[in-house]
Amino acid sequence: MSITPFDSALQGRAFADVDIARLFSDSAELRAMLIIWGALARAQAAHGLIPHDSAEAIHRAMLEIQIDPGALAADTARNGVCIPALVVAVRSEMQAPEHAQWLHHGATSQDIIDTGLALRLRQALGLISDRLEAALNGLADLADAHAETPMAARTYGQVATPTTFGATVAIWGQGLLVQLADLARIRDLVQIVTLHGAGGTLSAMGDAGPTIRADLARGLGLSDPIGSPHADRSHMRALAGWLGQTLAALDKCATDLMLLTRDGSVTLGGAGASSTMPQKANPVAPSQIRALAWHGLALTQALSSTPWDHRDGSEWFAEWLALPQLVTATARALTLLNGMTIIPDAAQLRAPLDDPSGLIHAEAISFALDLPRPEAQAQVKSWIAEIRENGGSLIEMSGLPDADFAPEAQWGEAPAQARRFAAAVRA
């Protein structure tokens, strides 16, 4: 087993996301930071902070230079960040010291690294948004198609009252619908430029600093934050929380599917095989989603700390360890849901409702009896005890019409809940 299955040649396809992995590769990180340096040089030149010809030389070089991440590894381990070694390497590659001296002028390592992360998060959240919408559309279709497919609701694991499969699917989707509605806020929080200098005051760029930052933000298509995010990591905690909540919503769907596949109430297309039991059709995808959700819960805890002072290396490093895994776990879990073919078995789902004992209708019968409420409950409990000991039918004992306890007479607003959810998604 590798240190992390996300990077494993053997297990990676089960848990990792190829598109997210590209965005969190060393080469993608370096490329993003080079782009920022080029844009920063132009913004600084526009306000007279560095020479125009040097800014153009830097901008051009940042589009052309290729840096080997491995060549920076030793210095990165010693310095804790890659920027000092990267500055040296890029200046050397430029072969124009009169221009290269203006590279990274007035910025600090966190400015460049965090802004580069923002560029990559913009793409990652775009991918996640697309997959979230696809998941919701799939669940909306499923809920609509089975709005009137009866099944037994369960509470505390026990058969409770009638509902429908469509209403159950709507429950799965409601949590995801909330997350989609909140995604715009999260994107606004994290798609920001970080340019605040060593102490968070951008003092090295003088009076022009805030204007340069605003220009850099516009050039990169990012927002200019109100304050310095060096020590205020609330935007990263908000992102971690959103990713964790999305995984939790996916976990609800996956957990219910695992329960429903136990007795064949639901089957999954493309289920996994057993090495020794030919009859098995294992719910592998829901199991993977649950594992990713549990892992995500632990990762959100790693991203919940409060930084020290005006910058905190340890809190920042913890983000590097946890955030890429949390992003890829969320993206992969959505892909797994979208890849599942969920096939409900209407007869198997309905079976508990057709139980000859009629115990599932106990609540409805207690309300239907023409007795004061306490007496009705006591009477129904007495009948239930008798049925459990000697058998029989609760509906027959009550003397009420069988038709009053058909699924459509007892499922309440379940079909409406399914259709409201589908309509909300499509709206």
What are the distances in angstroms from CA 73 to CA 3, 82, 86, 282, 313?
Answer: 19, 8, 10, 43, 18
pLDDT category at 210 given cuts 50, 70, 90 is very high
Residue 314 pLDDT grade (very low, low, confident, very high; cuts 50, 70, 90):
confident
Residue 59 is predicted with a pLDDT of 98
DSSP notation for 395-410: HHHHT--GGGGSHHHH
Residue type, 104: H
User: What span, in angstroms and rounded, lies between the C-alpha atoms of 18 and 193?
Assistant: 26
How far apart are the C-alpha atoms of 122 and 303, rounded to whole Å?
Answer: 19
pLDDT band, residue 270 (cuts 50/70/90)? low
d(CA 58, CA 90): 10
Assigned token pair, 407: 């699924």
| pLDDT tier at 309, thresholds 50, 70, 90 | confident
Cα 236 from Cα 340, distance rounded (Å): 31
pLDDT of 279 above 50: no
DSSP letter at 70? G
Both structure tokens of 107: 């910025």
Active site residues: 274, 311
pLDDT band, very low/low/confident/very high, at 316 (cuts 50, 70, 90): confident
- Burial of 68 from C-beta contacts in 10 A (0-12 / 13-18 / 19+): exposed
Determine the pLDDT at residue 4. 83
Q: Which residues contact 370 (CB under 8 A, 6 or more apart)?
A: none
pLDDT-derived band at 281, boundaries 50, 70, 90 = low
Give the model's pLDDT for residue 7: 81
Q: In whole angstroms, what is the distance from residue 83 CA to residue 93 CA?
A: 15
Q: Tell me the per-residue pLDDT of 249-261, one tens digit each, with 9 for 90 and over.
A: 999 999 999 999 9
In angstroms, rounded to a whole number, what is the distance separating the alpha carbons of residues 294 and 49?
Answer: 49
pLDDT digits (tens, 9 = 90+) for 31-60: 999 999 999 999 999 999 999 999 999 999
Q: How confident is the model at residue 29 (pLDDT cuts 50, 70, 90)?
A: very high
Report whether pLDDT(2) > 50.
yes
Give me the pLDDT at residue 304, please.
82
d(CA 222, CA 194) in angstroms, rounded, equals 10
Q: Report the half-sphere exposure of 411 (CA within 13 A, side-chain side).
A: 24
Domains of the chain by residue range: 350-411
Cα 337 to Cα 315: distance, rounded to the nearest angstrom: 33
- Residue 237: per-residue pLDDT: 94
The β-bridge relationship of strands 341-344 and 266-269 is: antiparallel
Tell me the pLDDT tens digit for each residue of 62-111: 999 999 999 999 999 999 999 999 999 999 999 999 999 999 999 999 99
User: Residue-wise over 345-354: b if at least 16 C-beta within 10 A, else e?
Assistant: beeebbebbe
| pLDDT tens-digit map of 385-423 | 999 999 999 999 999 999 998 999 999 999 999 999 999
Mean of pLDDT over the chain: 92
pTM of the model: 0.92
Q: CA 59, CA 364: separation in Å to the nearest integer?
A: 74
pLDDT value for 11: 83
pLDDT at 13: 83
